[in-house]
Amino acid sequence: MKIKVINPNTTLEMTKGIEHAAKTAARPDTQIIAVSPEMGPVSIESYYDEYLSIPGVIEEIKKGEEEGVDAFVIACWGDPGLHAAREVTDKPVVGIAESSVYLASMLAARFSVVTVLPRIKTMLEELVDSYGASKKIANIRTTPMGVLDFERDPAAGMEMLRQEGKRAVKEDDAEAILLGCAGMAEFADSLEKELGVPVIDGVVAGVKFAESIVDLGKKTSKLKTYKYPEKKEFKGTLENFGQSQASIK
């Protein structure tokens, strides 16, 4: 099967890392297509970045339809555009935050997220709450490092995750750690060994769940919330997002 992994930011080095993680997790017979959108921010660290990454994500979903993709993974821990993506295609679309939360729920009773800048803490609180995990999340721990800081200085990133991970286990009653950024896959294994609890990278979780859903032949429900977008005109810079096909009523 073909799974398209979309890194919603436009930093190709990071996309390469995500691609590597996805391919490691994927089955031999699964083809991984990892991309960044043509437009959008080089990293996502605010509502501003997140919303402005969505048009690019949607374009990649639409292209995926033509590319014969079987499922999509949105590889940013804010799951930007997830619900819109489910409107644009009937192929399964999973977010890595969502996948991390459900996977962790099957492995541990309580868990903490370790992520980037403090400003996104509230964003993530509301995100995990929307996945029904507010009682299971022990804490959302932020660091002074931004998304690309982890790319630039992996050693410092590893040390930061180690520190916060240890505090999560010791202070939060966390029994698993969720890595709250798509660029942290490389740290998961060594952290897991050090901390002695499951350390979950969302990219690989998303790929496996996508494979599972495709194996089961399941598609997104098109009954109501995730129907195709209504047929309508778009204006200005985004006019090519206009919908010609009618929504299935």
| Minimum distance, C-beta of residue 94 to a second copy, in the bound complex (Å) | 5
| Minimum distance, C-beta of residue 14 to a second copy, in the bound complex (Å) | 13
Q: How far apart are CA 233 and CA 218, in angstroms?
A: 31
| Minimum distance, C-beta of residue 160 to a second copy, in the bound complex (Å) | 17
Q: How far apart are CA 248 and CA 230, in angstroms?
A: 8
Q: Which is nearer to a second copy, 155 or 224 (CB)?
A: 224
Q: Which is nearer to a second copy, 33 or 130 (CB)?
A: 130
| Minimum distance, C-beta of residue 80 to a second copy, in the bound complex (Å) | 8
| Minimum distance, C-beta of residue 234 to a second copy, in the bound complex (Å) | 5
- Chain-centroid distance of CA 182 in Å reads 6
CA angle, residues 95, 101, 106, in degrees to nearest 5: 125
| Minimum distance, C-beta of residue 147 to a second copy, in the bound complex (Å) | 9
Q: Which is nearer to a second copy, 84 or 158 (CB)?
A: 84
Q: Which is nearer to a second copy, 161 or 203 (CB)?
A: 203
Q: Which is nearer to a second copy, 19 or 87 (CB)?
A: 87
| Coil/strand/helix, residue 112 | strand
Q: Which is nearer to a second copy, 6 or 58 (CB)?
A: 58
| Coil/strand/helix, residue 226 | coil
Element (DSSP H or E) covering residue 93: strand 93-95
Q: Which is nearer to a second copy, 154 or 229 (CB)?
A: 229
Q: How far apart are CA 60 and CA 84, in angstroms?
A: 12
Q: Which of 5, 29, 28, 30 is nearest to 16 (CA)?
A: 5
User: Of how many residues is the chain composed?
Assistant: 249
| Minimum distance, C-beta of residue 151 to a second copy, in the bound complex (Å) | 13
> How far are the Cα atoms of 48, 53, 90, 154, 174 from residue 227, in angstroms, in the given order?
26, 22, 9, 42, 38
CA 80, 86, 89, 90 torsion-angle sign: positive
